Structure 1
């Protein structure tokens, strides 16, 4: 399991990253480890083997990202977003793209 201090090392160049930013990145990382990584083979080439399974996996992962607020993370709070800054947005995208 990755800790906040491990993420701090990874994002050492992210000047201005706060402890809250690290906690958000850690939560996204844990989501990806739990909900994406075990099923990535369903997507990676899965469209050729079992399209139905690939679609089901894609939609489940997408809904999970919606549930944790990924799509609205960088939108201002007044518009229903989470209002995270550029550094946090970068860290979130980095963790999802693993």
Structure 2
């Protein structure tokens, strides 16, 4: 089972508060943005990479890729999922992501 520490709905996705407060306080080492638009937008990914803390990896996956892949996560990955809207979170839950 993937080690999902927190799932947050925030239309800004990765930004200062997520990077400096949430990620460190929960001890996450992987920020996973689950959003179809961001998964294919390298410009937005680059902006969020600049805000992400250096100690955490980032992944930008579509909602379906998250559903298909999250169960392969290593136990060492402490995952913080960030979604842009409640609809994406609902799709994750309906797809079996153990939030």
Higher relative contact order by CA 8 Å / sep ≥ 6: 1 or 2? 2
Give TM-score, length-normalised by structure 1: 0.30
TM-score when normalising by structure 2: 0.30
The higher radius of gyration belongs to 1
Higher helix share goes to which structure?
Answer: 1
